[in-house]
Every structure is written in C-alpha cells, then in structure tokens.
A and B are shown apart, each in its own frame.
Chain A
Amino acid sequence: MIADRYEPISGGIASGGMGAVHKCNDTILERTVAIKVLASNQEQRRIRDEISALLKMRSKHVVQVYDVLTINDGDLAIVLEFINGVDLFDSSNAPQNLEKYLHLLWQIASGIADIHSLGVIHRDIKPNNMKIDHEGVVKIFDFGLSRDDGKAAETLGFAGTFGFAAPELFFHHAKFTPAVDTYAFGATALLMGTGSLPAELLEKPPRCNGSDFFSAVNFPLDATLVALLNSCLCANPNHRPQMGDVRDLLAKHLLFDRHKALVVFDKKASYLDKNRRTVRLKLASIGEISICYDGFSFKVDFVQGEVFLNNRAVVVGDELPGACVVALGSPDRKAHRRYITFDLSNPEIVL
C-alpha cells in the first residue's frame, strides 16, 4: 500500500523513462491510477519540473496528473491517470486508412500544441510515450524529460531517443526549444504512416535536409500536408512549423466539406454548404459580391462596387471569419445600405 491509500495491482509494474511506474487502485476514489515513484535525490528537480508541467495541463490529449505525494522518507510519487492499452509503437495501433491516420496525427499535434501553449517542452515525444484509451483518444505521457522553456532548457548531455531526437540535440550546448518536439512529432508521424523510419533519420545526427519523406506514407496525402509534415523534419529548427499550426492544418483537412454557413439577407435565411457552394449578393448599381465554399472555408470569389466586410473594403480571396456582416453600399448611404449576416458552424472532429 502506498500512502495508506494506493494498492498496487499485481503485474501492473512497468518501467517508464525514469523511475518505476506502479499500476495501483486508489482505494478512496476507487479508480485505477499510475504512480511514478522517484527515489534518488538527483532526480528531484526533474520531477518537480514534471509535476509543475503536468499540474498546469488541461489537455484531452495529455495524461492527467491527479496528485503528488511524499512517501517513505522524502521520495516523490506522482499519481497519474492510468491509460489502459498498448502504446502507439505497437502495430495494433497502426492506422488503417487516411482518415484514421489524420485523426491520429491531429490528436498528437493537439496534445503537443497544448503542452507548448503552457511554455513547456515535452522533450521525449515518440510513439512509445503515447497510448490510445478505450474511447480512442490519444494520450501523451511521460513528461520525464520536460522542462519549462527557459534557462533550464539547455541540455546537459544527450538524453533523447535516437530516431526522434532532432539533429541540433547532437551538438554540444544545444538549446532545447519547442521545435525539438516538432521534429519528434514529424518522426512519429512518419513512423505511423510508413511503419518504419528511413535510414538517414537513424543516423547520428539524422540527415534530413530538405528531403521529401512524406510522399512515401501509405495513404494518399494532400500535397499541402506532405509539405507541412516534411517541414516538421527540417534540419533548421527555425524552419519547423508551430505545433498549433500543424494541428489546425490537419483539422482543416479532417473537416473538409463539413462546414455550414447561415446567410440572412433581406429577412430570408439560407445555408451554404457542400451542396450549395456559392451565394451571390447584389444591390443594383451599387455593389455585388459572391462567396464560395471550397470545402475548407468561405471565401470571396467576386466583388464589385461598394462592398464592405465588417466595415472593411473587400478583396477577392478574403476569408469569412466565424461571424460577419457584409454591407452593400458605402456608409454615407445610411439607411439605404443592405446588410447580410453570415454565421459559420463549428464542426468538430469526432473521435
């Protein structure tokens, strides 16, 4: 029994990146938890970092920390959400089609973006540190190497995982940045999409300058996604994308043709969606605009005369924000202006 409360479940011991992980039953709240115990003193600072990162975390895709305990004589134990199942490295979790592949990458990218939005770097992103729970939700765990993005982010010797460690980590006094996780995400995405990592990425340091890795994945990826995923593996950390942008582009492709816009003009409501892609609005001899849904967003594809979108002049290519008002006629026409309101739906990625 740990702390008179957590009862170890036999056969539930696994080794994590650092220290042992015990699968336990919380006898008070009657739930299964994972308890990570760190004994040695030199690890204390690391675990403090890990705890501070996890306590800040409110992500669906990052394992939850429930509590922190001091056990025995000063050892630290963190009580974590227990995720049943095998990790992503196991072939049973290999995605079977393009949609499942994009779902998987989007969830991983969401988790990493959530971590980065708190100013934290995970530092050990790899398939072994992710699991899919019984609801199909990807959970990232093992923050063992995470540190706040600050002074302490300078590496003290190599501590990554070959194949997933960014090239800059192989040099002395390398600086940890969120781009390290982005690289590791790219390698993870490649592994999940092809079943293995190419030889040049297994070199030390990996050779990854400008190569096209993602055309080789097993699924018909859109060219913009191939380019985005390739950019995650850029040798220069500054050229890798932000994980929030990666998440958003993946979401965009997952939500293709699923949006809807409610258009109200002249007291009449109509909808724009994949079945009706274009609307043309006209106030005779004053102004005219056409808006088209391309499966990703609602864009202005024609404009002429006095047309304003949220009081700004409109140009072809403008994208409608979540809610907006199009005015036909310039402000000096006062009551003669006509307004059209657009409200866009908020489709969700259902897991």
Chain B
Amino acid sequence: MSGPLNPNQVIGGRYEIINYLDQGGMQFVYVALDQLTGRRVALKTPKNNSATKRFRRSAVVAAKVNHPNVAKTLDYVREGDARFLIEELVEGRDLRAALLGDTTFLDPYLAAKVFHHLSKGVAAAHHAGVIHRDLKPTNVMVVGDYSLTELKVTDFGIAKLAKDELEEAVVGGEESLTTSSTAVGALPYMAPEAIESPSSVTAAADIWSIGAMMFHLLSGNYPYGQGLKAVPLIIAANLPQVPAFLTSNPQFEPLAQELLDISFSCLKKNPAERPTADDLVKRCSELCYSSSPRTIGSVTSYQHNAFGFISTSSGDVFFHKESVYGMLPKVGERVLLASYDGGGAPRALPVVRLTNQ
C-alpha cells in the first residue's frame, strides 16, 4: 500500500478503498468500491499542496468530456484538506506499461489502432473545448495489453497542474528535471510552443503530442530524445530520423509510411499547420489495418530459410519471414504475433520479436 489511504477506509461516506493502484507525477490512484451503486471506481488524490490547488479545476475540465475513448469523471469529494476525484475505473494498464513493456515499438497495424482510438478521444475533448495539455503514454489507459480491446485517455487538465512544475524544471535545468517525474515523462511529447510559451497553448499542442507519441510507438525512439537536451531539438522541430526497419519490408511499408506521414504532419513547428483531431480521425479511418488480438509464442524452427513455426499456448502457428516486422527472431526466441485461423496450421501476421528474451 502506498499514499495516504488504506483499505476499508471510506471516502465521502460511500467510496470504500479496496487497494492502492498506481501513482502519477501529481496524484495517487486507488481502486474503490462505490457502496451506493456497487460499482468499482478509480479514486485519485493529489500528492501535494501545489497539486491540491488545481485538482478541482482538473476535475471540472475532465467532466466536460464524454466519450468511450475518455475515462469518465464521476464525482469529486472534499474532506477537510483532502481532495478526491472519482473516475471510471479502467481495468487495464497505462500505454507505456501495456504496449512498451515487451517490445520497444509496435507493428503498424497495432500502431494504427492506437492512433485511431487516441485521435477519437482527443477529438471529443477538443469538441468540448478541452485541451489535454499533457498527452503522454502514461496518461492513456489500455485494456487488454497488446490485444487492445479498449483505449481511454485520462488525466485531463492535470497538465494545468503539471505546468508549474514543468516550468520550474525547464528553468531549473537538468537537476530539477530529474527530480520531477512529471517533467521527465511529459517533455518528450511536448510541443515547441508548450515549452516556449506554455500559457498560450491551443488544441494544436495536443496534436503535436499525438504525433510525438505515434512516432515513439512506431520507431521505438522519442522523436527528439529525452531530458533537457531534447528541449532545443523540439524547438527546432526538424523531423526526426526514421529507422530503416519501418519501411524496409514491402508487407508493412505502405501502412508504416502513411502512419509516418500523419505523425509528421502533427510535428509541424507552426501549430496552425498541424491537422485537427477531426482530420486525424478521418485519416485514421481510411487506413487499412487489422485489429486482431495478439499472443506470445516462441519460434521453434525455420525451414528452407523462408518460413517457420511458432509455438503458442493454442498450438503451432506457421509464419513466413516476410511477415516478420523488425528484427528476425532466432529459434527459441519469443515473439508477439497475430494469427489467422483456418484449416491446418494458422498463419501469423505480423510477427514482432520481443525485446526482452
């Protein structure tokens, strides 16, 4: 257990703490049972005074957005000096834990699916006049890990809280940057104008963040690196280098290239030149991508230097070398795959080697 609350404690006369779940830069998150309705909810409470100051503001902002790709705001409770935000409980993990744990990048199909859902959630927020300001992998919840059955953007308006800390960190240099987990997590995805003139950001800053996140998911790299040395690179906004594996395989090249194009359109220095969230939703809906569930298996053999088999919990799966995205796995290595069933052995597409063997 971590943070100020303990199991069985009841908040606001109705929310019974079940367990500690997680913490972000600004807040602790618990799973609680709403005794009045019987449903499980996420209960968030700020970590410190500076967070408390703006906690209600963030709740008010989040409450304006109502969309399946956005975690629903349910209630806000104050008890003495303490503040609690009650939110829809997303039974999953944040995007970094869910999708960047076993691999450092995603295959283009999965990346397209993430892009599509993310754009829809952010578009709904922008329609409601809400700017997220702090889009990053840890503020996106994913259900089903690599099989991704649901995606929900969360922590709207927290960025408004985080802003002070970020400004301090940027001014304070490397030392304060490493002590501010908020700044460390957010900086690689921050738009140039969000660093240069944070008080004047528009919805276009969220678009940049989507583009930066997508580049990261596609390539395995932060577009402009991490830490303080990323700052001048983000401000210069020259497009990042694309690793060769994205476009070297004809099976994946068309989709990967389209995704890169969209991502780069979001990374325009001039906010006015970036697409709107609605534009992104439209472009994503025109992408050809499959959304099949993923499983993990290990390569058991190669034959004729052309194809092989992967052993999975539901039996052997055939794969062709051309269906491998990124580095070719060796026999015995673990891979992530989608398989298409049919008569005989199912066939895998795509196959992605896991980073941690």
Contacts and interface: CB of A to CB of B under 8 A. Distances in A.
A264 interface: yes
Contacts of B103: none
Contact of A262 (B68, B255, B340): B255
A231 interface: no
A268 interface: yes
Interface string A87-127: 00000000000000000000000000000000000000000
Interface residues of B, number: 50
Contacts of A269: 250, 253-254
Contacts of A68: 36-37
Max chain A Cβ within 10 angstroms of own Cβ: one of B322, B345, B347: B347
B80 interface: no
Contacts of A60: 67-68
Nearest to A348: B285
Contact of A345 (B73, B76, B286): B286
Nearest to A309: B342
Nearest to B76: A28
B251 A64 contact: no
Interface in A307-340: 308-313, 321-325, 331, 334-335, 339
A261 interface: yes
Interface in B270-290: 281-282, 285-290
Contact of B74 (A67, A267, A308, A312): A67
Contact of B291 (A308, A322, A347): A322
Interface stretch (B45-53, B55-63, B173-181, B196-204): B55-63
A345 B342 contact: no
Nearest to B344: A311
A264 B250 contact: yes
A262 B36 contact: no
B307 to A, nearest CB: 7
Given A312-B343, A335-B306, A30 B288 contact: no
A350 interface: yes
Interface residues of A, number: 47
Given A310-B341, A311-B346, A339-B320, A347 B285 contact: yes
Contacts of A271: 288
B9 interface: no
B251 A311 contact: no
Contact of B349 (A311, A323, A347): A323
B254 to A, nearest CB: 4
A346 B63 contact: no
B66 interface: yes
Nearest to B341: A310
Interface string B237-259: 00000000000001101110000
Given A29-B59, A58-B68, A311-B343, 17 more contacts: A28-B56, A64-B66, A66-B74, A262-B288, A312-B343, A325-B347, A331-B344, A335-B306, A335-B307, A339-B320, A343-B288, A343-B289, A344-B288, A344-B290, A346-B116, A346-B285, A346-B291
9 contacts: A30-B60, A30-B63, A60-B67, A334-B304, A339-B320, A343-B288, A346-B285, A348-B285, A350-B285
